[in-house]
Amino acid sequence: MDDAETDAAEVDRTLDAVGPRLKQLRLGRDITLTHLGEATGISVSTLSRLEAGLRRPTLEQLLPLARVYGVTIDELVDAPRTGNPRINLRPIACKDGSTVLPLTRRPGGIQAYKFVLPAPAPGGDVEPVLRTHEGHDWIYVLNGTLRLVLGEHDLVLRPGEAAEFDTRTPHWFGVTGSGPVEFLSLIGKQGERAHVRAAPKRATREERT
């Protein structure tokens, strides 16, 4: 078995173990499936299938679940440790070929992630499927171009550009035909927004005198 097959097998084992983990978290917090569905925007039937291991979770499902349970995605799926052990990055490979790297490990508060979306297959334009859930999102593009469909707006974000929105607004993001894209995402609970604080302007010599 080569390295690629080994990595794929590890991802399969990780995803297969998510169901019992989700059920354990829900029961431990005394949350009903109905309440969880209302908090995440995921149907009760889908949540039940996820917990029973009859369906593998997608990234769009893991994000609101991690937020409700107050854990990071890597803690939610108990992903194997990889990368530099000093920063303990634990990338999670998704079924659509994308990769997410949780950059924070503390429960609660704003969570930071790095997303890497692969280039689309030739002629493989993806039809946006807009979703909603509780929370607030702030994204910043590092490389490539990111398509963001937000309500009635269809935007293309380039490196250095950012967007901030309430995730109760129907939204979807993905690659454009120009290639892969990397972006950062800060995700918080409802009403919890990311703020960028500029450094204070240094006074000139004339202003100090």
Query: Tell me, what amino acid is at 37?
Result: G
The confidence score (pLDDT) of residue 11 equals 57
What does the pLDDT average to over 176-193?
78
Residue among 139, 126, 128 nearest 100 (CA): 139
For residue 166, give the 3-state DSSP assignment: strand
Query: Tell me, what amino acid is at 168?
Result: R
**Percent of the chain clearing pLDDT 70 (strictly above):** 72
Question: Which residues neighbour 96 within 8 Å (Cβ) at sequence distance 6 or greater?
Answer: 58, 59
Q: How confident is the model at residue 198 (pLDDT cuts 50, 70, 90)?
A: very low
Q: Mean pLDDT, the chain, as a whole number?
A: 76
The first and second tokens of residue 77, run together, are 């799926």
The confidence score (pLDDT) of residue 113 equals 87
- Between CA 41 and CA 23 the distance in angstroms is 17
Query: Taking 60 as the threshold, does the pLDDT of residue 206 lie above it?
Result: no
- Between CA 51 and CA 114 the distance in angstroms is 26
CB atoms within 10 A of CB 204: 8
- Between CA 7 and CA 182 the distance in angstroms is 21
* pLDDT tens-digit map of 137-167: 899 999 999 999 999 999 999 999 999 998 8
Q: How confident is the model at residue 106 (pLDDT cuts 50, 70, 90)?
A: low
What does the pLDDT average to over 187-198?
57
- Between CA 19 and CA 50 the distance in angstroms is 5
β-bridge partners, 209: none
Query: Taking 90 as the threshold, does the pLDDT of residue 3 lie above it?
Result: no
What does the pLDDT average to over 101-127?
76
pTM equals 0.56
- Between CA 130 and CA 126 the distance in angstroms is 12
